[in-house]
Structure 1
Amino acid sequence: MSAAALRARYMGDTVATASPQQLLVMLYDRLALDLERAQTALGGGDHAEASRQLLHAQDIVTELHTSLKVELWDGGPRLAALYTWLGTELVNANIKRDVNRVASCRQVVEPLRDAWRQAAASLTVSTA
């Protein structure tokens, strides 16, 4: 089995066995990585790579938005509005090749990722 096939199998197993909170952190980790890569690609003039990364980031934001159950907590509607804003910013960043919009998205996503990671870790500790 090739290294790529082994990696794909490992990732598939990791996702299949992850808890909901771990899946959320994985999505945020990948979203932050996509934004970092897009920002680097735009800065280097690689518009095709930036577009690939931004499209993947848009897919993640769409998944986060559609899986959000806004009625379950008071912050739900605000988070839904934030996902709407992120999606719009990512589309505009891609169309306009705007590295500043990507940077703005990173400034929002990275603290959220860190907060979700911390929440998931505390939930794991409290249930252990």
Structure 2
Amino acid sequence: MTALLTNEALYQKSPEEITALLYEAALTNLENAIEHNERQEFIEANDKLKKANDIIYRLGAGLNYEAGIIADQLDQLYNYLADQIIEANYKKDNSKIREVIKVIESLMTAWNEAMKQKKDPQSSAVKQKAKAYESTSIYE
């Protein structure tokens, strides 16, 4: 992110916008880590990679598992990315960081496109049926 957000501005963001900002921040940290590795500034690179990993963790923690299989798949992908970042940090391997960047760029592009569309894939009829079912179901 090029500009820091104030707490007030951050609280005014929707969850979708915050997710987009997290993707952007992860990319920025990963790109900075590559630059630091190339200059053999390994402590700074380590800090950037730890921040990127923290962001990936937060993205995973924010998943809504009621969304179905896509949430499970994203969880697995986030775990894979976190593992790759740790390995890249340990080995000072910029190619692994670039691999993570490609995946996050793809996710960010898809996320931003979905935000532009802002269409709910479920029809109102399906939602009404689900609400009717939930209101008559007995939960144990």
Alpha-carbon distance in 1 for matches of 2:94, 2:16: 30
- 1:4-15 residue pairs with structure 2 within 5 A? 10-15=5-10
* Residue of structure 1 in register with 2:65 after alignment: 70
**The one of 98, 106, 127 aligned to 1:103:** 98
Given that 1:61 and 1:86 are in contact with CA atoms closer than 8 Å, whether structure 2 keeps it comes out as yes
Deviation of 1:84 after TM superposition, in Å, equals 0.5
1:61 aligns with 2:78: no
Larger Rg: 2
TM-score normalised by length of structure 1: 0.84
Alpha-carbon distance in 2 for matches of 1:111, 1:33: 15
Task: Deviation per CA, 1:39-80: give whole Å up to 9, x if none.
Answer: 121122111111111000011011011111233133111111
Task: Deviation per CA, 1:75-116: give whole Å up to 9, x if none.
Answer: 111111100101111111111111111011001111111111
**The one of 40, 53, 57 aligned to 1:45:** 40
Deviation of 1:31 after TM superposition, in Å, equals 0.7
Deviation of 1:19 after TM superposition, in Å, equals 0.5
SS at match of 2:6: helix
* Residue of structure 1 in register with 2:134 after alignment: none
Given that 1:70 and 1:80 are in contact with CA atoms closer than 8 Å, whether structure 2 keeps it comes out as no
Alpha-carbon distance in 2 for matches of 1:39, 1:114: 21
TM-score normalised by length of structure 2: 0.77
Q: Percent identity?
A: 26
Structure 2 gaps, min length 5: 120-140
